[in-house]
């Protein structure tokens, strides 16, 4: 039976979130256990930093497996580093819990640590407190000066391309809302265990002119890129790469809608000069990841090629609870 001290903030940190001593090349001069962590970025590199918050019943189902929650909380933050072409190095976590559930914490920390280790990310600090369950994750990475992929570099004539497949996040959510719970199903895996495209982002540095990760849906995130780049685009909806099992789960029209507006895909959306396409595809093929051209950037502002009826917005907030339609 855990003692009261083990349920304190420091007890929980010591039990579940104190990592092994960092590797010599981890860039951690001082890690968990002090007021601040001290980091040593590589010489001549810029620091890329992003933060995301995941709230139970809002960003993921409150009853989702704890291990998936831990994995997902880190993955959605790492996806921002992937979109910048950055190498992930470190992370901080602020965890708010209604109660110190030992079984849940064990699963959560296992999922979080598993992805962190797979991506070469060191957990270097954080905070644990009591309240409505939420997870704030700050990630830090490195990128060479002038090399970061941004949203504002797209130019008229560039191709619009996406990594992987689309609609899996929305399709997985739909299956969850129908009562499916087997994470071996590809769509549920895509929704609850997304994979940040870190190596893909780094492989595209020097080839893509602009990039953004698809978290709020293809059309919404493309809109952000167009606005920042000061261009328009024409899309070919027939070219959209659909996630495995999506048509079977949602039908053809529903699958197309999920690919256009469904959130939580965490693929990379790119602007890419046509002359760089073959090299980009070759680099991603070496990683086992396809790259699909779905449109082109144009001088004229706005988005063309997608009927207005297909532009219904995606709402990631499950405002009526995770069992209801978004």
Are the C-beta atoms of residues 258 and 170 closer than 8 Å to each other? yes
Query: Looking at the 3D structure of the chain, how many domains does it have?
Result: 2
Return all residues near 235 (Cβ < 8 A) that are at least 6 apart.
Answer: 160, 222, 294, 295, 303, 304, 305, 306
| CA-based R_g, the chain, Å | 20
166 and 304 belong to one structural domain: yes
Of 28, 22, 55, 23, nearest to 41 by C-alpha is: 28
The reply to whether 150 falls in a domain is no
The reply to whether 232 falls in a domain is yes
The owner of tokens 């995301």 is: 52
Angle among Cα 9, 15, 19 to the nearest 5 degrees reads 105
Neighbouring CB atoms inside 10 A of 100's CB total: 18
The owner of tokens 């899309």 is: 235
The reply to whether 113 falls in a domain is yes
167 and 304 belong to one structural domain: yes
pLDDT, one tens digit for every residue, the chain (326 residues):
344 444 555 566 566 566 666 666 778 888 777 778 898 989 999 999 999 999 999 999 999 999 999 999 999 999 999 999 999 999 999 999 998 888 999 999 999 999 999 999 999 988 889 999 999 999 999 999 999 999 999 999 999 999 999 999 999 999 999 999 999 999 999 999 999 999 999 999 999 999 999 999 999 999 999 999 999 999 999 999 999 999 999 999 999 999 999 999 999 999 999 999 999 999 999 999 999 999 999 999 999 999 875 765 444 434 333 333 33
24 and 132 belong to one structural domain: yes
134 and 11 belong to one structural domain: yes
125 and 232 belong to one structural domain: no
Q: Which of 78, 110, 143 is a domain's end point?
A: 143
**How far is 55 from 134, CA to CA, in rounded Å?**
4
Residue 68 maps to which CATH number?
3.30.1330.10
Query: What tokens were used for 28?
Result: 């951690």
The reply to whether 23 falls in a domain is yes
pTM for this prediction: 0.89
Residue 175 maps to which CATH number?
3.90.650.10
168 and 286 belong to one structural domain: yes
Q: Which of 143, 170, 205 is a domain's end point?
A: 143
12 and 107 belong to one structural domain: yes
Helix, coil or strand: residue 323: coil
167 and 122 belong to one structural domain: no
The reply to whether 27 falls in a domain is yes
**How far is 112 from 91, CA to CA, in rounded Å?**
11
Owning domain of residue 81: 5-143
**How far is 169 from 284, CA to CA, in rounded Å?**
21
Query: What tokens were used for 69?
Result: 């929650």
136 and 53 belong to one structural domain: yes
């Amino acid at each position: 039976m855990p003692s009261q001290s083990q349920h304190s903030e420091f007890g929980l940190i010591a039990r579940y979130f104190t990592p092994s001593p960092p590797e010599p090349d981890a860039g951690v001069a001082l890690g968990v256990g002090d007021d601040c962590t001290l980091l040593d970025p590589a010489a001549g590199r810029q620091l890329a930093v992003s933060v995301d918050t995941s709230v139970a019943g809002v960003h993921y189902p409150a009853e989702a497996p704890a291990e998936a929650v831990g994995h997902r909380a880190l993955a959605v933050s790492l996806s921002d580093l992937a979109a910048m072409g950055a190498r992930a190095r470190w992370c901080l976590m602020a965890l708010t819990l209604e109660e110190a559930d030992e079984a849940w914490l064990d699963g959560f920390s296992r999922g979080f640590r598993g992805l962190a280790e797979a991506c070469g990310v060191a957990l270097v600090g954080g905070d644990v407190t009591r309240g409505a369950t939420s997870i704030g994750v700050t990630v830090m990475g490195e990128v060479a000066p002038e090399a970061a992929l941004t949203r504002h570099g797209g130019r008229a004539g560039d191709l619009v391309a996406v990594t992987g497949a689309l609609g899996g996040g929305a399709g997985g959510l739909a299956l969850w809302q129908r009562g499916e719970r087997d994470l071996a199903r590809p769509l549920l895996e895509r929704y609850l265990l997304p994979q940040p495209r870190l190596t893909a982002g780094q492989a595209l540095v020097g080839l893509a002119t602009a990039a953004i990760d698809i978290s709020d849906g293809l059309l919404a995130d493309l809109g952000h890129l167009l606005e920042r780049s000061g261009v328009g685009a024409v899309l070919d909806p027939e070219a959209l790469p659909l996630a495995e099992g999506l048509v079977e789960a949602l039908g053809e029209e529903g699958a197309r809608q999920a690919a256009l507006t469904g959130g939580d895909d965490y693929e990379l959306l790119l602007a890419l000069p046509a002359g760089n396409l073959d090299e980009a595809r070759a680099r991603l093929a070496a990683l086992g990841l396809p790259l699909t051209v779905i449109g082109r950037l144009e001088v004229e502002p706005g988005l063309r090629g997608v009927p207005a009826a297909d532009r219904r917005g995606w709402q990631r907030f499950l405002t009526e609870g995770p069992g209801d339609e978004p």
